[in-house]
Amino acid sequence: MLERLQKIISRAGITSRRHAEQLIQSGQVRVNGRVVKELGSKADARKDRIVAAGHLVEISAERHSLLVNKPPKYVSTLSDPEGRLSLRELLRGFPHRVFPVGRLEYNAGGLMFVTDDGDLANRVLKAAPHLPQTYWIKVKGRLSTEEQAKLAAKLHAKIRPLRAAAGMKTAANPWYEVKFSGVRRDSLREELFAAGHPVEKLRRVGLGPLELENLPEGAFRQLGPGELKKLSASLDRIAGRADRVEKSIDGEHDSRRT
């Protein structure tokens, strides 16, 4: 069956569909020995020999999806031209080729989703602006109740202070939990900096229904069938809402024409 090259490459777990398009355009994809640069090009994964960025494209029915607890000062890619530590160091020992879905800034730590399921990765990336995320942030100074309310209103977020462990004194620079969707992390930093509470540490602990829980820093674990089912259901709900909004907009345009 003929399929677009970027979809085949992504489904093989070599990279995301978006990055596969970049590989095609940069001349790093060959089909039966011939360089292909056109994005609309198609091939048959069962019959054609496809090589992307030096990797032979092989479709496997088995899929692997992981959560990684990225430490700060690791890049959220599998390699770095500057020689900084990357996810590849954290995934050593895992026998399958997986790739990260989305990014987490260099100085931040926490949950990253990696997979070799290109279709699932594409769904996550498409839903990313609307996928709820949960962060733990450590800020300079304490946020007053009024400051928390203002920040929550500006970012359409939920904010609450994290409780200190039993027997510990309340810290001068405490941690807060922030839940939001559709907002860039930069906006969170900017608003807190403007309020005189710059972010000292940032850690993502939730992405949609996925939770970091007690996974140690620098470690990874495979997602179970139940977690994948919840993730898929969450992505379906987001896609459904987007379709309804699009149909509503199209309906308004049609009514104006008539």
Q: Distance of CA 22 to CAs 9, 19, 55, 100, 102, Å?
A: 12, 5, 15, 16, 16
Q: Distance of CA 113 to CAs 69, 144, 209, Å?
A: 9, 34, 12
Mean pLDDT, residues 80-108: 92
Residue 161 pLDDT exceeds 70:
yes
Quick one: CA dihedral 106, 111, 114, 120, positive or negative? negative
Return the closest-CA partner of residue 67 out of 94, 33, 44, 29: 94
149 assigned to some structural domain:
yes
Same domain, 219 and 125: yes
Same domain, 111 and 218: yes
Each residue's pLDDT tens digit, 203-235: 999 999 999 999 999 999 999 999 999 999 999
Each residue's pLDDT tens digit, 19-51: 899 999 999 999 999 999 999 899 998 899 999
CA distance 25 to 37: 5
The domain of 50 spans: 2-56
Same domain, 120 and 178: no
Quick one: CA dihedral 15, 93, 207, 11, positive or negative? positive
238 assigned to some structural domain:
no
Return the closest-CA partner of residue 136 out of 195, 206, 66, 186: 206
219-255 burial, b for 16+ CB within 10 Å, e for fewer?
Answer: ebeebeeebbeebeebbeebeeeeeeeeeeeeeeeee
Same domain, 90 and 218: yes
Residue 108 pLDDT exceeds 50:
yes
**Mean pLDDT over all residues of the chain?**
88
Entry pTM: 0.75
Cβ atoms of residues 37 and 24 within 8 Å: yes
What's the pLDDT score for residue 178? 94
H/E segment holding residue 21: helix 17-25
Same domain, 219 and 115: yes
Of all residues in the chain, the percent with pLDDT exceeding 70 is 91
Same domain, 118 and 219: yes
31 assigned to some structural domain:
yes
Same domain, 120 and 218: yes
CA distance 107 to 87: 14
